[in-house]
Amino acid sequence: MMSKICAFIFALLLLSSAPCFGQAQQYRGVAPAQKPKSEAPKEPFFQGASASFDVCGAVMAAFTPYGQFEGAVRANLKNAFFPIVEVGLGVSDHSNEESNLHYKVHSPYFRLGMDYNMLRKEHTGNRVFVGARYGFSFFKYDLSGPDIEDPVYGDIVPFSYSGLSGNAHWAEAVFGVEAKVWKFFHLGWTFRYKFRIHEKEAATGHAWYIPGYGKSDGHCLGGTFNIIFDI
């Protein structure tokens, strides 16, 4: 009799625990599976380099009193920072009609700088830049003009100097726009505000034109129109 009672109680316990067990199985079945988190691909640090040539300076050299032939090489770091080296040859062969002074120069110049792409998150190839440059030039030039008469003795002193030496250092604030035309081919222009840091003068005074800088004022404006190729 006792064994039948124990068997009956054991059966009741099994029946009472069955809904809980089924409910647990149900919850276990609908629990969402956790998916492994996928990390976003890291943007490469170095994204290539490019070479460019300034058309504006070449046109100025052909049709104005001074100009330059300039090329540049730059690197692309994360499509954000663009360190750049600009190298050029400044030229002038100009006579001033008012003073009758003739100035001639044919010397190199260099600029080092960095641009920042304000459209770095838009991978279209189009860019808007702000940047800075440090420029310098060590140059030689010729200066000549009308002969000078000595006011005391009346002697005629020729005013003609060849191989005068000068050097200059300056800084530039740069704003630029660049558009992707086709695959590795881009066009762009820059607008620049330049201010002179230092100039070593020759005995005759300031040079009329400083290669890579422009007319020898304390500050000036400039610009470039660049043909750019990714390399």
**Residues present in the chain in total:** 231
Query: Whole-angstrom Cα distance, residue 136 to residue 199?
Result: 10
Q: Can you tell me the distance from the alpha carbon of 128 to that of 112, in angstroms, rounded to the nearest whole number?
A: 19
Give dist(CA 145, CA 204) in Å, integer.
12
Measured in whole angstroms, how far is the alpha carbon of residue 187 from the centre of its chain?
14
Kindly report the pTM of this predicted structure: 0.79
Task: Tell me, rounded to whole angstroms, the distance of Cα 112 from its chain centroid.
Answer: 9
**Alpha carbon of 74 to those of 46, 70, 85, 184: distances in Å?**
11, 13, 6, 14
Q: Where are the domains of the chain?
A: 46-92+106-134+169-230
Q: What is the pLDDT along the chain (231 residues), one digit of tens a residue?
A: 434 444 444 444 344 444 444 444 444 444 555 655 656 667 889 999 999 999 999 999 999 999 999 999 999 999 999 999 999 999 999 998 888 899 999 999 999 999 999 998 877 889 999 999 999 999 999 999 988 877 777 778 788 999 999 999 999 999 999 999 998 999 999 999 999 999 998 888 889 999 999 998 889 999 999 999 999
Give the CA count within 13 Å in the CB-facing half-sphere of 22.
6
Query: At a CB cut-off of 8 Å and minimum separation 6, what does 139 contact?
Result: 90, 105, 107, 108, 109, 165, 166, 167, 168, 207, 210, 211
Q: pLDDT value at position 10?
A: 41
**How high is the pLDDT of residue 151?**
76
pLDDT of 16 reads 44
Model pLDDT, residue 33 = 57
Cβ–Cβ under 8 Å, residues 73 and 85: yes
What pLDDT shows up at residue 36? 57
pLDDT at position 32, please? 55
CATH number at 46-92+106-134+169-230: 2.40.160
